[in-house]
A and B are shown apart, each in its own frame.
Chain A
Amino acid sequence: GQQLNQSPQSMFIQEGEDVSMNCTSSSIFNTWLWYKQDPGEGPVLLIALYKAGELTSNGRLTAQFGITRKDSFLNISASIPSDVGIYFCAGTGYSSASKIIFGSGTRLSIRP
């Protein structure tokens, strides 16, 4: 079945640093989504991407839908403590009723 490979698995940042994470797949996706999950809560949608090549920003977050439809990246600029959490990429196929496939997540922590 379809799978998403997300990297890195975890990263430690210092406040103010820029962060980058990405997802790749062997299959084509119609939609790419980026979610953030805080401990004990459900995922919250950060950015949704619907077109190949699309570059979308949400505050300090920027995400792109790869031209090949098989990858996406998320950048966070000037990180702050509340950015800590788990970030998941997710994708859906061409059918609007398709289920979301989740990546394995990137755990973002503040370097002490």
Chain B
Amino acid sequence: GAVVSQHPSWVICKSGTSVKIECRSLDFQATTMFWYRQFPKQSLMLMATSNEGSKATYEQGVEKDKFLINHASLTLSTLTVTSAHPEDSSFYICSARDLSNGNQPQHFGDGTRLSIL
């Protein structure tokens, strides 16, 4: 089945540093990738949608200068949390979808747990 690999699976860093999270589709082309944020015991909240080669579309309330998204190839998207602070600590999950091949569902990565000290 379709596999999405997310790296790293967890990261702890000091306040003020920037953190990059990678999301790769391993056996299909991801024309569209999605980035979610999940707080404990809550549902997934969509942060942004990115199409390969285009700028990401951010959801209302998500700072695009804070959460930089790059989707330069059909198999890789990155999310960079810039100048991270403790309130950015969360579980970040990516998902990928191939919209060039019919109504294919989204496939999710295993998430990245980000802890800012």
Distance in Å: Cβ of B43 to nearest Cβ of chain A: 5
Main SS class of interface, A: loop
- Of B4, B44, B91, which is in contact with the most chain A CB atoms at under 10 Å from its CB? B44
Residues of A within 8 A of B43 (CB): 88, 102-105
Flag if A43 contacts B44 (CB, 8 Å).
Answer: yes
Query: In chain A between 36 and 50, which residues have their CB closer than 8 angstroms to a CB of chain B?
Result: 40-45, 48, 50
Residues of A within 8 A of B91 (CB): 40
Q: Does A75 make an interface contact (CB < 8 A)?
A: no
In the assembly, what is the distance between CA of A6 and CA of B45, in Å? 15
Flag if A97 contacts B103 (CB, 8 Å).
Answer: no
Residues of B within 8 A of A99 (CB): 34, 46, 49
Flag if B93 contacts A96 (CB, 8 Å).
Answer: no
Partner of A33, one of B4, B32, B93, B105: B105
Question: Which A positions have Cβ atoms within 8 angstroms of B?
Answer: 31, 33, 35, 40-45, 48, 50, 88, 96-97, 99-100, 102-105, 107
Binds A, one of B14-22, B75-83, B108-116: B108-116
Main SS class of interface, B: strand
Known A-B contacts A99-B46, A100-B34, A104-B43; A42 and B103 likewise in contact (beta carbons under 8 Å):
no
Residues of A within 8 A of B106 (CB): 45, 100
Distance in Å: Cβ of A104 to nearest Cβ of chain B: 5
Residues of A within 8 A of B103 (CB): 31, 50, 96
Query: In chain B between 66 and 112, which residues have their CB closer than 8 angstroms to a CB of chain A?
Result: 91, 93, 95, 99, 103, 105-111
The 20 sampled A-B contact pairs (Cβ below 8 Å) are A40-B110, A40-B111, A40-B113, A41-B111, A42-B6, A42-B93, A42-B95, A42-B108, A42-B109, A43-B44, A43-B93, A43-B108, A44-B108, A45-B105, A45-B106, A45-B107, A45-B108, A99-B49, A100-B95, A105-B42
